[in-house]
Amino acid sequence: MKYSILIVVLVTTLFSFSQTYNTEMSVSKSELEHTSYEKDSTANALVIYDYGNSFVNKKTFWLNVEVKQKIKILRPEGIDRGEFEIKLYKNKSTEEKIDDIKGITYNLKNGKIVKSQLTEKAIFREENEHYTLVKFVLPNVKVGSVITVSYEKRSRFMYKFHPWYFQGQDPVLYSEYNASIPGNYIYHIKLVGSIPFDTFENDLVKNCLETGGGASADCGVSKYVMKNIPAYKSEDYTTTSLNYTSRVEYELSVFNGFDGRVDKITKTWKDADHELKADADFGKQLSKKSIAKDVLPESITSIEDQLEKTKAIHQFVVNNYTWNGKSERYDVSVKNLLKEKAGSVFEINLLLENLLANEGITVFPVLMSTRGNGFATKIYPVLSDFNHVIIKAIIDDKSYYLDATDKYHAFGELPFRTLNQYGRLIDFDEGSYWEDIVVKDFSSRTHRIELSSFTDDEFQGTLQSRYSGYHSHLPKRQYDESNLSYFENKINNYDEIIIEDHKIIDFDKSKPNFTEKLEIAIEPEFIGNKIYLNPFLIKFFDENPFKLQERTYPIDFGYKDIYNYSMQINLDENLKVLEFPEMVNYSLPNQAGNVIYNSELKDNSLIIFFKVKFNLPIYSPEYYPYLKLFMDKVVELQNNSVIVLEKQ
């Protein structure tokens, strides 16, 4: 057998194996008495034992999957772990089966172990045309309970060998998966996640399957074991959990029948390219001169500079065609888009490709999987992974990534949902290849406050806010789509500021910036003649977004970030500075980011300057404890900074 295996391994801290729990199906009194899990004090439940065994039955040739689980309930929020749902898939010719469902709830009562058995009457089935949903709830589950569940599934659907999730919403002490695969089934095996195996063994069993005609197959037997697996806990600044949850998956590549038949299931990228080229919803929609003929006005086609022409064509598509919210790669018709003026991601961006190609611009479509859709599989083609397309234009040896589905994005800016590390560039002449998608420019948010006068115990001044790159998209949209209420919303957003006037300085939907200026007043806090003022009238982060004890997946901002804040207080004979914040310069390892905080008296003004900079769009999990401390520092500076002035 040949296995194609992708292993993603990052350095991670291994916890010592807990001695409190017994990793087998029997339940002890000490397990029932225990009330917490020392490695994760926030855990709602703990999976003590998780076991799976998949093999092909020698007599029936069905795929059998044995599952066993033992779970400790630690908190009220974990009681629902006693509720189970199992999907049994079916089609017109066959359906999956489930046998021997067993469930027991163990509790302590007066110092003795009491068992509550799952009964057959408590098992329910819900049917639809695609699957049967088997549902059951174990009896008497409460905080402190230990529950055990076991069952066996049988399936004829060998194209998807049973996957195994080692990681889930709860920490796991021990997870073991065994897979016995006959040699006539060749699978791509994909290992996802950053947690290394404690055991990873492969063996060969001769003649594991035999037919009546004398044919036989050997079996490749694999054993995977992980111990002390942290829970996957979702947190901000990430993509979908499917990108990082530790698991093993199988995709059938080739089936060799005992009769000599060979079915090639998974294609190569060369095969996939041919399929895409002939696809009526993709290849047939590309570079059709007839589709793009006479669409562009002469004012655009007459532009000689290729970059300026490309920008004009991109803006023409943005202005004249509306995305309908659909991203599916089927029922694609650029012709219908031209007629209806609204269409899917594929229709709009493939029209852009047509128009650019017609004008002699070198362009390629790049198939993408969005952040919420997960990473596209790299080790073999899975065309269903892709739910978006962008266009790469090459002008004077420089690359530009284009998307025309959002009118608030500037030329060369991709939708945030597409910032998912890479895509597949489709080149029908030279062959497709993976293309890294990286946002090189920083996006920024800047607030400049100048308090120019102090009269009647009130500061007057201005607040100028400038947003660039990805930070500009939301304010541009909010201002453009709710122009009349934008000022009122701005008033409600700032608790510490009285807004007296508002002016938009820089607004163009097609440009990467948005700037506004406010005339403001501030009523500071007085204690006697002393004025106490937190200079951060606007905070970038109200609290630290990083709260986990441990994070095993990357911190994915999508783009590089800069936050700037400054305040200038013009002093006169009525004010004297008694106290102002000290200088802070704090950096992440390897200069991956820094926060600078400075204050100085200069020319009868007090100037406060604050800057937070993230130099990477994505940080590996090893940075997490440093980012956590970094953000603690940022939040502390914003919340606890004080300027003390004395009224003369």
pLDDT digits (tens, 9 = 90+) for 42-66: 999 999 999 999 999 988 999 999 9
Alpha-carbon distance of 530 to 642, in angstroms, equals 12
Sign of CA dihedral 473, 476, 481, 485: positive
pTM, entire model = 0.86
The token duo for 394 is: 């090459």
**Most confidently predicted of 75-84, 188-197, 264-273, 524-533:** 75-84
Contact 550, 13 (CB under 8 A): yes
Average pLDDT over residues 214-219: 88
Q: What is the pLDDT of residue 483?
A: 66
Predicted confidence band at 319 (pLDDT cuts at 50, 70, 90)? very high
Angle in degrees, 0-180, between the axes of helices 483-493 and 473-481, rounded to the nearest 10: 120
Per-residue model confidence (pLDDT) at position 6: 33
Q: How do residues 527-539 score in pLDDT, each as one tens digit? A: 988 999 999 999 9
Across the chain, mean pLDDT equals 92
Binning pLDDT at 50, 70 and 90, where does residue 460 land? very high
Q: Which pLDDT score, from 0 to 100, does residue 300 have?
A: 97
Q: Looking at residue 20, what is its pLDDT?
A: 55
pLDDT of res. 160: 82
| 592 contacts 617 by C-beta, under 8 angstroms | no
Tokens of 267: 């294609």
Tell me what the mean pLDDT of segment 27-41 comes to. 92
Q: Is the model's pLDDT at 17 over the cut of 60?
A: no
How sure is the predictor about 391, in pLDDT bands with cuts at 50, 70 and 90? very high
Q: Could you give the CA distance from residue 347 to residue 614 in angstroms, rounded to a whole number?
A: 36
CA distance 569 to 450: 6
Share above pLDDT 90 across residues of the chain, in percent, rounded to a whole number: 80
For the chain, how many residues are written? 648
- DSSP output for 227-260: EEEPP----SS---GGGTS-EEEEEEEEEE-TTS
Mean pLDDT of 94-100: 95
Backbone φ and ψ of 81, nearest 5°: -70, -15
The answer to whether residues 180 and 208 touch, using CB atoms and an 8 Å cutoff, is yes
At residue 10, the pLDDT reads: 31
What's the mean pLDDT in 123-142? 95
Q: Mean pLDDT over residues 301-305, rounded? A: 96
Domains of the chain: 4-11+45-262 (2.60.40.3140), 269-436 (3.10.620.30), 442-647 (2.60.120.1130)
Residue type, 379: I
Nearest to 447 by CA among 520, 510, 512: 520
CA distance linking residue 166 with residue 552, whole number of Å: 13
In contact, 491 and 451? CB cutoff 8 Å? no
Distances (CA, A) of 202 to 1, 225, 249, 427: 11, 12, 16, 39
Assess whether pLDDT exceeds 70 at residue 5: no
Which pLDDT value is given to residue 489? 80
Neighbours of 181 (CB within 10 A): 25
Whether the predicted pLDDT of 554 surpasses 80: yes
Q: How many CA atoms lie within 13 A of 398 on its CB side?
A: 6
Spatial distance between the Cα atoms of 118 and 121, rounded to a whole number of angstroms: 8
As beta bridge partners, residue 516 has 465, 504
Helix axes 345-358, 306-320, angle to 10 degrees: 150
Is the pLDDT assigned to residue 9 strictly greater than 80? no
pLDDT in tens, 580-600: 999 999 999 999 999 999 999
The pair of structure tokens assigned to 478 is: 């909010």
